[in-house]
Amino acid sequence: MRRLPGYLISGVHFTTACVLLFFLMPRRTGAYRQRSSSSYRTPDTAVDFAADRDQLEAHMRQHTRSYCTCGNDILQSRFCRQDFVIVAGRAPTKPRTFYKASGPNLFHFAGTILSLEVKQVLRGPLEANKTVDVNFIQGAACGVTPSMIPSKKANFLVTGFHLCSPSCDKTHHYHHPQTTQMFLVTRCSASVSLESLSVTQIAGLFLGLYNCNKESCREPRPYFWEPPQQGTLTQTCPYPYSASQCYNRYGLCTKSSLNQSTCTFRAVNRIPKSEAVLAKIPSELHATVHRALSSHVTDEQRFRACLWHSGGA
């Protein structure tokens, strides 16, 4: 009988051994993988983001610049947390470049200075019908996107930060007056064309529905993993971070109509077109208000569709 080559027999033995090892090894079930992944989390990891938010924010404020640390806040949070909220347009003056040597001490960013004509002040120390120089950070993780730079032909909603170093008084430096304050727009800010606002955003901004009173409903809070248990955050509105854009455009945190002790997100479908109401809203947004009254699709329906597509429903 013809003998098989030695290397072929060795190969068969090796294959058989591999198959036996495969079946004898313990199988990693879903529960095993879940335990393994959880074991990699250190005690400092914020598994329940909403519960640990205060401690996390305190840590961020201590180690980073607050105007660069925001995640993807929704417009209501930016409206309530930031130092100024204005409606403004570009002044005819040319943009100027600033470098890290300009501005308050320890300011290490560069960007563009734009002169903005303030049309309306919603929050903050600025005054309407005056021109203010606003520093737009560009580049790095803190810089604005190109679409956040106001165009010359449209009014913009702009939110930002008021930095003072060490006070907001003017000083003299090398025989030239130098201001020690800065109005700053970063990636954490909102800077959008006024006409791009939704009906819900218009109502929140100009009709007072973005309530910043902490005794009513505290700031909306995102969560990354599992939603907080009901009853743990009755005075705030938790929302999934993955659906931030939906809540940014179509949601505002307010008291629940069913239970005044809890807060919930809701959309605004229509705004009354009475003279008293329209007087509070910039004229270029009146067409948006009128279209909403006759539209068959409401912000509430858009809100639900957005949540469904984002997986946040």
> For 181-197, how does the pLDDT look when each residue is reduced to its tens digit (9 = 90+)?
889 999 999 999 999 99
pLDDT of residue 169: 55
Same domain, 175 and 201: no
**CA-based nearest residue to 293, from 270, 277, 267, 276:** 270
Half-sphere CA count of 37, side-chain side, radius 13 A:
7
Tokens of 295: 């539209």
Domain assignment present for 248:
yes
- Rounded to whole angstroms, the Cα distance separating 116 from 130 reads 8
Domain assignment present for 244:
yes
- Rounded to whole angstroms, the Cα distance separating 198 from 74 reads 13
Grouping H, G, I as helix, E, B as strand and the rest as coil, residue 103 is coil
Same domain, 158 and 89: yes
Give the end of a domain, one of 187, 220, 248. Answer: 187
Tokens of 209: 């529905």
Q: 270 CB contacts (<8 Å, ≥6 apart)?
A: 199, 292, 293, 298
Grouping H, G, I as helix, E, B as strand and the rest as coil, residue 177 is strand
Tokens of 40: 């990699």
Same domain, 174 and 221: no
Same domain, 183 and 201: no
**What are the Cα distances from residue 215, in Å, to 74, 79, 198?**
20, 17, 27
Same domain, 174 and 216: no
Neighbours of 206 (CB within 10 A): 22
Same domain, 179 and 268: no
Spell out, as residue ranges, where the chain has pLDDT lower than 50. 1-2, 4, 6-12, 19-50, 63, 101-106, 171-177
Domain assignment present for 201:
yes
- Rounded to whole angstroms, the Cα distance separating 60 from 52 reads 12
Give the end of a domain, one of 161, 187, 213. Answer: 187
Output phi, psi for 232, to 5 deg: -85, -25
198 burial type by CB count under 10 A (0-12 exposed, 13-18 middle, 19+ buried): buried
Neighbours of 277 (CB within 10 A): 14
pLDDT of residue 34: 34
Give the domain extent around 101: 83-187
Same domain, 135 and 223: no
Return the CATH number at 177. 2.40.50
**CA-based nearest residue to 153, from 203, 110, 193, 113:** 193
Same domain, 167 and 200: no
Tokens of 158: 């702009």
pLDDT of residue 310: 85
Same domain, 112 and 173: yes
Q: State the pairing for strand pair 111-123/96-98.
A: antiparallel
CA dihedral 25, 31, 32, 36 (to 10 degrees): 170
Total count of domains within the chain: 2
**Contact of 225 with 240, CB cutoff 8 Å:** no
Domain assignment present for 106:
yes
pLDDT of residue 110: 87
Same domain, 111 and 206: no
Output phi, psi for 158, to 5 deg: -130, 125
Give the end of a domain, one of 187, 219, 240. Answer: 187
Domain assignment present for 50:
no
pLDDT of residue 165: 65
Domain assignment present for 11:
no
Same domain, 178 and 232: no
Domain assignment present for 23:
no
Domain assignment present for 24:
no
Segment holding 293, helix H or strand E: helix 286-294
pLDDT, one tens digit per residue, over 104-158 is 444 678 899 999 999 999 999 999 999 999 999 998 778 999 999 999 989 999 9
Q: What angle do CA 153, 284, 111 make, to 5 degrees?
A: 40
Sign of CA dihedral 158, 160, 163, 168: positive
Roughly how many angstroms between the first and final C-alpha of the chain, as a whole number? 72
Same domain, 266 and 208: yes
